Amino acid sequence: MIEAVDSYYRHSNANVHRGVYGLAQEATDLFEGARERIAAFAGGETDTTIFTRNATEAINLVAYAWGRSAVGPDDAVLITHMEHHSNIVPWQILCQERGARLRYLSVTEDGRLSLDELDAALSDGRVKLVAVAHVSNVLGTINPVAEIVARARAAGAATLVDGSQAVPQMPVDVGAIDADFYVWTGHKALGPTGIGVLHGRRALLESMPPFLGGGDMIASVGFESSTWNDLPWKFEAGTSPIAEAVGLGAAIDYLSAIGMDAVRAHERELTAYALDRLEEVEGVRAFGPVDPDGRGGVVSLELAGIHPHDLAEICDREHVCIRAGHHCAQPLMREMGVPATARASFHVYNTHDDVDRLIAALQTAREVFAL
């Protein structure tokens, strides 16, 4: 990934879709080639795969360009208690602006969503959009998104799936899930920061107005008004994240070479091992589904008598980096009845040895706190 970005800047650096000189064509080919591979990697189509700055911007794009006309007073947007702030706040803003209601699905004791509750929430026909995480960044829960999308569609609601935590760690086929919008973010898929992806349904993308105006997104510009470029460029105003797309292309090539089935098997195995070993540490409570088949490679935990911040500090001294805090999911923390959690997350570079070190660091923390 780093070499691809480096090589782009050294040998192929030019703006895309502009110059007639060879270098500009080379940059355009690299950029559009990356889009083609990135789209295919996630099971999407090339011209409905839009580059954004991150998942957050992709969600905001939908909230503004689609939501402002599709959601009105007395309508509702349905999200869940396990969403990341990036899949909450844009909908709060939209609902406030449009006089619509924001509804939440709750999370069960073992960190899952209830399809019965979904059906009940959809039953009055007011829900215009269901927005849900594919995999929770706090609980690790893998949500049954294809089923959720099907039920939402049957009730006349559009769907957005936040796949930020799913695309990096398991095989994802956005075509099979068939949501109207599916978003993810490059930096979690071993890619660079500054690039996110939106896969959208063609008919919706075509009928939606642009999100941001400027260069590249137009077909022609008059004094009073302009006409819009074709998909996907209609939603890509201004100079694109070119190096970032090239870098993300290299990252997904790397993941594809390992094989997403193998990545998923590794994540599952390590998570199962971690959940198992955590039981050895007195006072530990792990959140989320107990069955490793139903969860991805993050484990949020609480250790009685030690605040997550202190836990993270002591783990850091033992060279184990875990995140402590609300994980951009304050509503979920409130539901779980904790101010914060500590969270270990795994990817392809982690091993059993890393889990063993985590367990040892947690034991050290108990000693420091004289527990």
Ligand X SMILES: Cc1ncc(COP(=O)(O)O)c(C=O)c1O
Name 366's Cβ contacts closer than 8 Å, sequence gap at least 6: 281, 282, 283, 303, 305, 306
Region of 80-88, 144-152, 190-198, 304-312 interacting with another protein (CB under 8 A): 304-312
Which residue in 95, 315, 321, 328 is the catalytic one?
A: 328
310 contact, one of ligand X, another protein, none, CB 5-8 Å limit per kind:
another protein
Q: Which long-range contacts (CB under 8 A, 24 or more apart) does 181-187 make?
A: 181/58, 181/62, 181/66, 182/42, 182/44, 183/52, 183/55, 183/58, 183/59, 183/62, 184/42, 184/55, 184/58, 185/54, 185/55, 185/56, 185/58, 186/54, 186/244, 186/247, 186/248, 186/251, 187/54
C-alpha 69/C-alpha 59 separation (Å) is 15
Per-residue binding letters, 256-295, with another protein (x by CB under 8 A): ----------------------------------------
Using DSSP, state whether 226 is helix, strand or coil. strand
Among 264, 326, 347, 357, binds another protein (CB under 8 A): 326
> Binding residue for another protein (CB under 8 A) from 68, 307, 347, 357?
307
Q: Does 143 bind ligand X (CB under 6 A)?
A: no
DSSP 30-47: HHHHHHHHHHHHTT--GG
Closest approach, Cβ 279 to another protein, in A, equals: 25
Q: What per-residue string of b and e applies to 138-148 under the rule 16 or more CB within 10 Å gives b?
A: bbbbbbbbeeb
Residues 154-183 as x/- pattern, contact with ligand X by CB under 6 A: --------x-xx------------------
Pair type for strands 341-345 and 323-325: antiparallel
Q: How far is the CB of 164 from ligand X (least distance, A)?
A: 4
Give which of another protein, ligand X, none residue 133 binds (C-beta under 5 to 8 Å, depending on kind). Answer: ligand X
Q: Among 51-59, 116-124, 335-343, 359-367, which window interacts with ligand X (CB under 6 A)?
A: 51-59
Q: Per CB under 8 A, which region of 94-102, 138-146, 319-327, 343-351 contacts another protein?
A: 319-327
Active site residue 321: no
Sign (positive/negative) of CA torsion 170, 173, 179, 184? positive
Residue 162 site contact among another protein, ligand X, none (CB < 5 to 8 Å, cut-off depends on kind): ligand X
Closest approach of another protein to the CB of residue 333, in Å: 7
Of another protein, ligand X, none, which one sits near residue 368, judging by CB under 5 to 8 A according to partner kind?
another protein
Residue with tokens 């009685």: 304
Contact 286, 297 (CB under 8 A): no
Q: Does residue 253 belong to the site contacting another protein (CB under 8 A)?
A: no
345 binds ligand X (CB under 6 A): no
Residues with a catalytic annotation lie at 328
- Per CB under 6 A, residues contacting ligand X are 54-56, 84, 86-87, 133, 137, 162, 164-165, 185, 187, 196, 328
